[in-house]
Structure 1
Amino acid sequence: MNQERQTHYRACHLCEAICGVVIETEGPDVVSIKGDSDDPLSRGHICPKAVALQDIHSDPDRLRKPVKRVRGADGGYEHQPIEWDEALDLAAMGLVETIKNHGVDAVGIYMGNPTVHNYGMMTHQSALFKHIRTRNRYSATSVDQLPHHLISLWLFGHKLMFPIPDIDRTDYFLMIGANPVASNGSIWTVPDVRKRIKSLTERGGKLVVIDPRRTETAELATAHHAVKPGTDAALLLAMIHLLFRDNLVQLGHLTDFVDGLSDIQQAVVHYTPEWAASHTGMAEEDIVQLTHDFAAADKAICYGRMGVSTQRFGTLCQWAIQVVNVLTGNLDREGGSLFTLPAVDQVVGASPGGFGRHTSRVRQLPEFDRELPVACLAEEIRTPGEGQIRALFTGAGNPVLSTPAGDDLDGALEGLDFMVSLDPWINETTRHADVILPPTSPLEHDHYDLAFHVNAMRNTARFSEAVFDKPEGALHDWEIFQGLGERVADALDLEARKAVPPHVIIDRGLKAGPYGDNSEHKLSIEALRATPSGVDLGPLKPQLPERLKTPEQRINLALSAIFDDLGRLEQQLNEASQGYRLIGRRHVRDCNSWMHNFTRLVKGPQRCTLQVSPDDAAREGWLTGSRVSVSSRAGSIEVELEITDTMMSGVVSLPHGYGHGRPGTLSGVANAHAGVSCNAITEATYLDELTGNAALNGVGVVIASL
């Protein structure tokens, strides 16, 4: 029987680029996924991940029904399918009993990276968590972008006020510890970045990349400078020093609302380019030339991402990056860094965030936005006493593979009294869960990108209809949160949140937003449905000081917490380092730990290798394909070597998110391409001490031949 072919328009939700796709289906099958040339942001571009949307939907390992953990005949654990009412009752009962017996802080919550790729997870988690006001909340934020949030809060007054690089109009782009050709941008929604870089250089602009590895992005750059991992703050401080020393400070339009310049000038007086060169390995004359070229450019951008965020001085780096942009007048300027004005404006509608209002129980690490650093999750489970985590809720996350000292956390999870996971897979973390609640597939629900329009290099809006109907007996993630919230509220004699579908919440946000009822655009869900490829709302524009959420709408660059951190920088830079320094690595077919179970994304050469430089290989007698042990204070792994001239001597690189193949998981393809977990050798105590953000780059390791 012939089935009618249908065409669907959607945004790919698998990374921050939110590329538009055109999906063709026949009955229950996806037959084609192509880029949507009418999408005003992605312009027809897609990467291999978008084509894998069909694999995620049809994955035989994806759970279609809830499961509960039981003892098997062999004495081990297995997961058995159950019905939804039983699953929701069991999950709610486990949480409620923990609260009644031990208090709300005995419940821990961890939300993973895919949460922000799915608007139902964002709009409805409060339906449950409003009844569990625990201090033990965690998320992927503190192994990722926490320094960005804190600097945005301190400088601009809101955790979501990220300065976005205006690549299409700039003349000079200084990129530090970022590889958007592999990531499609990060805290920067920039689809088709390869073509945008080519346009930049063809019009005479420059891209300068600072990274210990000659990345895929560095291959396209005008210049690449390798620096030692974890020393980027020294480079940035020397640049600030030079801007003052050589009379290159020109605030321009920012002059009337920026404070703290004299304090900063005094703070950086000793951070000379000679000092920075001694720590970074970058030549003194190159640091001077870089700074002068940046200051002389008509329009310039300084931007840094994972390499400078997930290290010991992540917050210091993000502060210094914004100081460089401000001192040269390139913040809030076309061709520099600008703020978005998204259609659903969370800068107006969401809490600005807060910092240090409470600390973790064991190590006294500070909270940000009511979340603690996930680096302390294992110890908060293991350590007895009031507030010990006894039950854990995880949503769309796999912290065993994605957070520091993952093997320690893996063991700690077995000590919990109860665990529930909202997740479609039995992975290295959820295998410990007593109940797993799987939501519908991404193609079975509608979607609006709340998070990534905030980070986009152009203001656009797009609503994605579901490609397939919700299967009978399935629940969307927001319905799972709603069902759990109602049960927990009933058991604790609290008022449950009224059930409102996420598209209704977004519709309200659109109508109240800057392009809504009081604008010429009149945006609404219905208006977006009528334009399925999305609506172009124009390039980013200057918005300061009106957009600022700080007191008196001013930017105070002189932050006492940052100045206090300078002593730690000097001390730790002067510490003798032994062995090698480990950094991460991203591939365009990867996104953390959740895309290794799809054949089209893992095919090709082995990617989970330890990359080393030819000089180091020659000195150590290593050969490509040899196996070595890599050890740190956290543990040891064995991995295959790959010798490549892209690596700086003394630095080694291992990709993130591997380490599959553990008993009890249900991931056939991933387990066949298991690799090793870099987080088995990253340390829970190796942090950006200002925030508690994990330092995943710059970890000291010792390598031995096997």
Structure 2
Amino acid sequence: MATVRRTACNLCEAICGVLVTVEGGRVTDIRGDEADPLSRGHICPKAVALRDLQEDPDRLTQPVRRTATGWQELGWEEAYAYVAEKLQAVQKTHGRNSIGVYLGNPNVHSVGAMTHMPTVVRLLKTRNRFSATSVDQLPHMLAVHLLYGHQLMVPVADIDRTSYLLMLGANPLASNGSMMTAPGFGRRLKEVQKRGGRVVVIDPRRTETAAVADEHHFVRPGTDAAFLLALIQQIIADGHAKPAAYVDGFDQVVSVTRSWTPERAARVTGIDAETIRRIAREFAGAETAACYGRLGVSTQQFGALCQWAVQVLNIITGNLDRPGGSMFPRPAVDTLRGIGRGHIGVWKSRVRSLPEFGGELPASAMAEEIETPGEGQIRAMVTIAGNPVLSTPNGRRLDEALETLDFMVCVDPYINETTRHADVILPPTPPLEREHYDLAFHQLAVRNTARWNDAVLPRPSEARHDWEIFRGLGLALLRSTPRSRRRAIASLRLRLSPRRIVDLGLRIGPYRLSVRKLRKSVGGVDLGPLQPALPDALHTKSKRIDLAPALILDDLPRAAEVLLADRGADDGLLLIGRRHLRSNNSWMHNSARLVKGKPRHQLLMNPDDLKSRELADGQLVEISSAAGSVSVEVAASNDMMPGVVSLPHGFGHGRPGAHLSVANQVAGASANDITDPTLTDPIAGTAALNGVPVKVTAAPRG
């Protein structure tokens, strides 16, 4: 007999509500849940692929250990004890910082990882911690930490009420609204236009979002800061700046942006001065407006400056904390309360002195910290739900470095390009076997809602949820720890279930909910549109916003020097990334349902750039940079700005030992094999994955 169960697709930030039909213990249908107040029935192809994750024959269900004769299964308790023993032995011999930890993107999509993984990481007591943050949203977090006092106090565009939406380096029709949880973004965008609003996209590629916007302008990769500074300068010059009474530092912003005229910005961005001036005046004059900058403006040399400028633009036009502008969600579980406000530069990486942020070092430093001898050298590695060989700079170098480790353990359901180096792999259950409450993305949602999801399918007896893995590993580490109050607190945290923790958070939260109440609701609880909250909600000590943090302003001379440098007759190309609705970084390519159809791993290149290099559409080409080279097919595309090429990240499968049956058949090339780990934003340490100088030539024959 078929039954229909409600849950959420937690594969991306949209957290869409879905209805799953189960018959005979198997999933037979997945469709959108019209009763969900946030997603309103919307789903994308990834939601349907939840079934593929569940049934994937490559997915591990029990711990495995690498031996001379291959991978061998072992029991859970044996695995926990063995891993704890090996990690503690490495630290005893080489010091506590001899262990490195890398946390991948899927961790924030799992309630069990969010509630239990941090305790285990703290128990390791290492400063060599890395995550996908520094190849993604770190500039967002740094900017809001400096301005609003908390690293996760990120305002989102109130798209459901705005009349002017300006987007830079963002493609929410493919991402569903990254750092802005907005399921059904296409429908929401059309609603903006139907009520007479305007959508403007600034991007080096005519993306899926740009194609349906009211206006799109190509911008030279890495120059977005010049465009944003010129908007700020023009708005101030026109006398349209109106920061709130609780905002300080406006006079300094006036001073440091005075020279960034639209004419100056036009020289470097490729957008003419009159267009910049017009957009500035339209933004300032709109009834409500919101500026939203995403990955394209974060993963470049001036990511922190860009994200600061996005916030300043919203603030000085009076659009921060204003319905239809840029607003702060108020989730049912106050995640800001349980996570630190953030800090920067408390310590630095050993080799290049890159700053930590929020307790994590830039991922671009991982390989060198493994390779370079001396005190603090990484000798053992823990990766949790991450594949940094494909997702961090110069992945080929990291691939080689991982092979030299004394020990490596991975919490991951697959033997992939990274975990193939592990000594032990601990696989968690797939999404449909887990309970879920979204702790991360309600904090970024364009509407306040809450929803608890029971597991759709029962967990097999031999399987373990991720929080159970962290509990088992954490308790094994604690067995050799002297008794103390800190040990007792850690043990208690590990023994509580995610449901208990979420229930407590709901009960003390702003709406006084509970898991029981949410389980009784149909599709979740609608808590209403975003509401003004400033200045009371600020986490700054003064309850005021300082628009002019020295860390950002001190970087402006570097920006001027680099952006205004004479590039001469350089005919090289700039590489940018891209994402697709049917792809999710590196971790959904083993779904035949998602990877079928037209290949999506090619290098996109403007036809004129192909012609000038005597290259042909479909030809195998070699892309080379300071970090190395890769070969891949090229595809002609008028959607590319001349002088810019685009290669999606997350590909590059097919390496020996990676057991990914489907992914290995569509291997493509890894964009991060040619991204330079030395090219970073020096303020935040974010990897510059966009605007990478490359040459494209015909691939050698043979």
Note if 1:453 corresponds to 2:450: no
Tell me which residue corresponds to 2:491: 497
CA distance in 1 between partners of 2:549 and 2:648 (Å): 34
Task: Give the Cα–Cα distance (whole angstroms) in 2 for the partners of residues 652 and 314 of structure 1.
Answer: 20
1:41 alignment partner in structure 2 = 38
Q: Is the 8 A contact 1:212 1:227 kept in 2?
A: yes
Q: Out of 40, 51, 55, which is 2:52 matched to?
A: 55
| Aligned with 1:189 (options 166, 181, 193) | 181
The code of the aligned residue for 2:191 comes to S
Contact 1:96–1:491 (CA under 8 A) maintained in structure 2: no
1:670-681 paired onto structure 2 within 5 Å: 670-681=663-674
Q: Give, as a single letter, the amino acid of the residue that structure 2 aligns with 1:359.
A: K
Give the 3-state SS of the residue equivalent to 1:279 in structure 2: helix
The letter of the residue matching 1:607 is R
Q: Which residue of 1 aligns with 2:364?
A: 375
| C-alpha distance in 2 between matches for 1:171 and 1:622 | 44
Give the CA deviation at 1:570.
1.4
Counterpart of 2:293, as a letter, is G
Match of 1:200 among 175, 192, 203: 192
Could you tell me which of 531, 536, 544 is aligned with 1:546?
Answer: 536
How much has 1:346 moved relative to structure 2? 1.4
1:694 partner letter: A
2:658 counterpart (661, 665, 669): 665
- Read off the aligned partner of 2:358 and give its amino acid letter: D
The whole-number CA distance in structure 2 between the counterparts of 1:220 and 1:541 is 29
**Is 2:625 the partner of 1:628?**
no
Q: How do 1:553-568 residues align onto structure 2 when only pairs under 5 Å count?
A: 553-568=543-558
Query: What SS does the aligned partner of 2:443 have?
Result: coil
Please report how far the alpha carbon of residue 350 of structure 1 lies from its aligned counterpart in structure 2 after TM superposition. Answer: 2.2
Q: CA separation of 1:445/1:162 partners in 2, compared to 1, >3 Å: closer, same or farther? A: same
Instruction: Kindly provide the CA deviation profile for residues 639-676 of structure 1, in whole angstroms up to 9, marking residues without a partner as x.
Output: 10100110000000000100000111110000011111
What are the superposed Cα offsets for residues 421-458 of structure 1, whole Å, 9 maximum, x if unpaired? 00000000000000000011111110110000000000
Q: Residues 326, 32 of structure 1: CA spacing in aligned structure 2 closer, same or farther, 3 A cutoff?
A: same
- Show the 5 A alignment for 1:484-523: 484-493=473-482, 495=487, 497-498=491-492, 499-516=495-512, 523=513
Deviations 1:596-651 (A, max 9, x none): 00000001111000000122122222221101100001110001010011000000
**1:208–1:222: 8 Å Cα contact kept in structure 2?**
yes
Which secondary structure state, in structure 2, belongs to the residue aligned with residue 652 of structure 1?
A: strand
Question: Which residue does the alignment assign to 1:75?
Answer: none
Alpha-carbon distance, 1:532 to partner: 4.5
2:84 corresponds, among 77, 92, 95, to 92
User: What's the counterpart of residue 249 of structure 1?
Assistant: 241
* Partner in structure 1 of residue 3 of structure 2: 6
- Whether 1:222 and 2:214 are equivalent positions in the alignment is yes
Match of 2:342 among 332, 340, 353: 353
Q: CA offset at residue 574 of structure 1?
A: 3.2
Q: 1:610–1:640: 8 Å Cα contact kept in structure 2?
A: yes
How far apart, in 2, do the equivalents of 1:597 and 1:382 lie?
A: 31
Partner of 1:113 in structure 2? 105
Residue 68 of structure 2 aligns with which residue?
71
Instruction: Please list, as runs of the form range in 1=range in 2, the aligned pairs for 1:249-648 lying within 5 A after superposition.
Output: 249-251=241-243, 254=244, 256-493=245-482, 495=487, 497-498=491-492, 499-516=495-512, 523-575=513-565, 576=567, 578-648=571-641
Does the CA-based 8 Å contact 2:35-2:522 persist in structure 1?
Answer: no
* Aligned alpha-carbon RMSD (Å): 1.0
SS at match of 1:668: coil
Which residue of the other structure, out of 660, 676, 689, is the alignment partner of 2:682?
689
2:698 pairs with 1:698? no
- Contact preservation (8 Å) 1:462, 1:532: no
CA distance in 2, matches of 1:346, 1:157: 14
Q: Quick check: 2:140–2:307 contact (8 Å CA) kept in 1?
A: yes
Query: What's the CA shift string for 1:475-525, capped at 9, x where partnerless?
Result: 111111111111111123353512000110000000000011xxxxxx100
- 1:547-579 CA-partner distances (Å, limit 9, x unpaired): 001122000001111111111111211342551
Does 2:118 correspond to 1:126? yes
2:29 equivalent in structure 1: 32
Change in 2 beyond 3 A, CA 1:412/1:532:
farther
* SS of aligned partner of 1:217: helix
| Inter-partner Cα distance in structure 1 for 2:101 and 2:323 | 41
String of CA shifts for 1:149-195, please: whole Å, max 9, x gaps. Answer: 11111100111111110111111111011000000010000001101
SS at match of 2:123: coil
Q: When the two structures are superposed, what TM-score results if normalisation uses the length of structure 2?
A: 0.97
Query: Contact conserved, 1:153 with 1:352, CA < 8 A, in 2?
Result: yes
**SS in structure 2 of the partner of residue 491 of structure 1:** coil
One-letter identity of the residue aligned with 2:562: Q
- Are 2:167 and 1:171 aligned? no
Aligned AA (2:414): W
Instruction: Check whether the contact 1:578–1:700 (CA below 8 A) recurs between aligned residues.
Output: no
**CA distance in structure 1 between the aligned counterparts of 2:223 and 2:515, rounded to whole angstroms:** 47
Aligned to 1:238: 230
Code of the residue aligned with 2:564 in structure 1: it is: N
Task: Give how far 1:82 is off.
Answer: 1.6
Cα distance in 2, alignment partners of residues 184 and 441 from structure 1: 22
- Stretches of structure 1 lacking an aligned partner (at least 5 in a row): 73-77, 517-522
* Distance (Å, rounded) in 1 between the aligned partners of 2:534 and 2:62: 50
1:540 alignment partner AA: L
CA contact (8 A) 1:96 1:492 kept: no
Mapped partners of 2:169, 2:586: distance in 1: 21
The list of structure 1 runs, each at least 4 consecutive aligned residues, that deviate by more than 6 angstroms after superposition, is none
- Asked if the contact 1:625–1:642 (Cα under 8 Å) also holds between the matched residues in 2, the reply is yes
* Aligned-pair CA distance for 1:129: 2.1
Aligned with 1:62: secondary structure? coil
Measure the CA separation in 2 of the matches of 1:129 and 1:623. Answer: 50
**CA distance in structure 1 between the aligned counterparts of 2:90 and 2:426, rounded to whole angstroms:** 19
CA–CA separation in structure 2 for the residues paired with 1:339 and 1:443: 30
- Return 369-378 or 566-575, whichever deviates more: 566-575
8 Å CA contact retained: 2:61, 2:462:
no
Preserved CA contact (<8 Å) 1:630 1:637: yes
Q: Once the 2 structures are TM-superposed, how far is the Cα of residue 399 of structure 1 from its aligned partner?
A: 0.2
Q: 1:554 is aligned with what amino acid?
A: R
Post-superposition CA distance 1:207-241 (Å, at most 9, x none): 00000000000011110010100000000111111
- Unaligned ranges ≥5, structure 2: none
2:305 maps to amino acid: L
Which whole-Å deviations, capped at 9, do the CAs of 1:9-53 have from their partners, x for residues lacking one? 011001000000000101221000000000000000000000000
1:151 equivalenced with 2:137 (yes/no): no
